[in-house]
Amino acid sequence: MPPAALAPLAAPAASGDSKAPAFFDGVTLAPADPILGVNEAYLADEYPGKISLGVGAYRTDQCLPYVLPVVKRVEQQIWDDPKTNHEYLPIDGLPAFQRLASNLIFGENSDAISDGRVVTVQTLSGSGALRVGLTFIARFYADAPSLPLVYIPSPTWNNHRDIVPDAGLGEARTFRYLHATSGGVDLAGLLADLADAPAGSIVILHGCAHNPTGADPTLAEWSDILSIVRERRLVPFFDVAYQGFASGDLDVDAASVRLFADAGIDMLLSQSFAKNMGLYGQRIGSLSVVLSKRTAVVPVTAKAVRSQLKAVIRPMYSSPPAHGARIVAGVLGNPVNYRAWQQELAGMARRIGDMRIALKAALDANGTPGDWTRIIKQRGMFSYTGLSKAHVAYLRTTHHIYMTSDGRVSMAGLTSLTVQRVADAIKDAVLTIP
């Protein structure tokens, strides 16, 4: 939920007035972040066998952070280059990064790119792309007499709920996404809710590896969603944080985005390299605005859009970081590095898939009540287990196993040594709290 409104701050005390409240006395404690708060609790737990399945960061089978070998190699190449410096990047970022990032998600043969209809700017990872894009919409959207409504899936990544109102677009509406029984996509509910959305509404869609559920539409189902979007004249805003993590194939995971881009409609896209290159702390992402084929004069509108995006970015953070952008450009722009990255990314996706299979098998073998098929049907970093808040609290207090309160498990946090313990703890929680 969005942070509670701040209490009014007291006026500065007059000189010598010792009884007047201090200026910041009215500041109240903000609620803990539902995801990062879990990690804070995990770090504070002194139990040596604690397990973190909360934060979405890849871990090796030894439960260690992973720096991709190709990233290490490119970093060394950057530092060995005598021309490397620490000068500011342009407001909209590194040009090579912009070009390569858009090619990666839309495809090198994209008509939208060749037509000049894709405007890409570098941002502070995916969160920054969402904030810049939604702020841009709030300022310059002209398809309705009032600000457009923004629809987000239910459930979705918690930060979506906060970014939408902070960008000036009011509280986000929701559309049905998860089928409670199957753990898959509730396509009928999704289509019905979008069919009721007013024309011009913004619809946030996860391109692949939906967070937190891991449930993705099939390509045929994406076609059905596209039909509703076109019919209702909705504006899709894709959030793509896990390209390559859903299937292990970069092109397969971009299929939904390319389907919509090829349809020639107006759309936006947030892109992050935190997960698929392990560049979490570098905050490297991009925002792409795709102009429809109906655009009157594409070069003029594209130039205007870029100028307005830069006008949003300048007072927000001035310019984006250089080092991570150079790493991404060094990986994507070099054929040898690119192939190495593809192989390393496929290996990470494969380990996550192996953990899905192992956890489901362990739950079946130990007789945990319930159908755990959803674990192997869902894709990407997360599994929406169906565990209740009470189950999650029990796992934390009794077994020192940490996950978000909605029962989302980061599969990358499991290892071959911990999967059985987690399965046995889940069985205990389910039997103890029916």
Residue positions annotated with a catalytic role: 157, 239, 275
Phi, psi of 261 (to 5 degrees): -65, -40
Pairing of β 118-124 and β 284-290: antiparallel
CA distance 43 to 31: 18
| Sheet of 173-176, strands arranged across | 118-124, 284-290, 267-272, 235-240, 202-206, 150-154, 173-176
Give 312's contacts (C-beta < 8 A, 6+ positions apart): 132, 135, 136, 139
CA distance 221 to 232: 17
CB 129 within 8 A of CB 97: no
CB 214 within 8 A of CB 378: yes
Measure Cα distances from 173 to 12, 153, 165, 193, 196 in Å.
Answer: 39, 9, 11, 10, 12
CA distance 244 to 241: 9
CB 227 within 8 A of CB 261: no
Other CB atoms within a 10 A radius of the CB of residue 69 amount to 12
CB 221 within 8 A of CB 185: yes
Tokens linked to 168: 């000036």
Tokens linked to 238: 């894709």
Tokens 């701040």 sit on residue: 6
**H-run or E-run covering 426:** helix 419-432
At 18, which amino acid appears? S
CA 20 centroid distance within chain: 45
93-98 contacts, C-beta under 8 A, 24 or more apart: 93/121, 93/122, 93/123, 93/286, 93/319, 93/320, 93/325, 94/122, 94/320, 94/322, 94/325, 94/326, 94/329, 96/329, 96/333, 97/122, 97/284, 97/286, 97/325, 97/326, 97/328, 97/329, 98/122, 98/286
